[in-house]
Amino acid sequence: MNNFSQLSRSIENKVALITGATSGMGLATAKLFSDQNAQVIVTDLNEDKINEVVEEISSYGKKCHGIKLDVTNLTEIKSAVAEIVKLFGGIDILINNAGISIPTLINDENYEEYWDKTFNVLLKAQVQLIRETLPYIQKSESGRIVNISSTEGLGATPRQSPYTSAKHGVIGLTKSLAVELGSSGITVNCICPGPIRTGMTEKIPEEDKNLYARRRVPLKRYGEPEEVAHATLNFCLPSSSFINGAILPVDGGLTIKRA
C-alpha cells in the first residue's frame, strides 16, 4: 500500500521559470517560490526592474536569477532557456504569467493590430515557452506547467474580445496539453484570477473597486497577488501529482455568483 502522506510538499531546489515576474501576481509568485527555497528565474521586459527583484530576493539568501525576456520573441526564449539550463542544469516548473490587456471595440480601426499583440503575449508566447522548456521539464521528477488565464476565460466583458478570446484559448491549451503530456508525468494546470490588485487594475478608482466587489464578489473585496501566488504554488507541489487539467478560479466566488 502506498503511503501518500510521504508525498513531498516542498519545492526546495526546484528550478522555476516565471514570466512577467517583476510586478503583480508574477512578482508575488517569485517571492513566494523563493521563500519556499526554489531556484527562481525572474523574467520580464524591464531589466532595471528585474535587477531590483533579483537583488531583493537574493538579499534574503535565496537563489534567484534574472533574464530580460520578450515572451513574443522566440529567439529570446531559446536563449533564455539555454541560459537557465546552463546555470541550473534543467527546468522543473514553468509559470506562464506574462500578460497584456488592450481594451477595444470590434469596429476599432486598430482592432486587428490589438488582436495580434494580445494573442502573441497571452497565448502564442505560452505555446512557445512550453515547447522550448518541455524537453527539460520532461526530465524532472515532478514537472509542472501552470498557465495563467483569467475569469475572462470563463466568461466575457464588453470591449475585451481579444483578451477574452486569448484567455479562453489558454484554458483550451491547458486542457489539451494536460491530456497530451499526462503520460510523461507532467501536470498542466490553469489559474483564472478574478479582480486582483495588480498593475492592470491600479488605475481603477478605489471607490469603483469597492463598488464592484460589493456587487459581484461574494467575499466583497478584490484579491491580493499573494493569494494567486499561493494557488499557483499548490499546483506545483510534488504532492499535487494527481491534479492535472484543472481550471482554478481564484476570484472570491465571482464566477459562481448569479445575482
Q: Cell for 183? A: 503520460
pLDDT tens readout for residues 107-116: 999 999 999 9
Q: Which of 114, 136, 163, 222 is catalytic?
A: 163
Mean pLDDT, the chain, whole residue set: 97
For the chain, the domain total comes to 1
In a domain, 206, yes or no: no
Instruction: Burial-class residue 2 by CB neighbours within 10 Å (0-12, 13-18, 19+).
Output: exposed
CATH of the domain at 50: 3.40.50.720
Establish whether 163 is a catalytic residue: yes
In a domain, 40, yes or no: yes
> Can you list the positions of beta strands (E) in the chain?
15-18, 39-44, 64-68, 93-96, 144-148, 187-193, 247-250
In a domain, 230, yes or no: yes
Amino acid in the structure at residue 135: P
Residue 15 structural domain:
8-196+224-253
In a domain, 259, yes or no: no
Specify the pLDDT at position 200. Answer: 83
pLDDT lower than 50: segments of the chain: 1
How far is the first Cα of the chain from the last one, in angstroms, to the nearest whole number? 47
In a domain, 66, yes or no: yes
Helix (H/G/I), strand (E/B), else coil: 154: coil
pLDDT tens readout for residues 207-252: 999 999 999 999 999 999 999 999 999 999 999 999 999 999 999 9
| Angle between helix 47-58 and helix 24-35 axes, rounded to 10 deg | 30
Query: How far apart, in whole angstroms, are the C-alpha atoms of residue 173 and residue 167?
Result: 10
In a domain, 126, yes or no: yes
Specify the pLDDT at position 7. Answer: 80
Specify the pLDDT at position 1. Answer: 46
In a domain, 203, yes or no: no
In a domain, 123, yes or no: yes
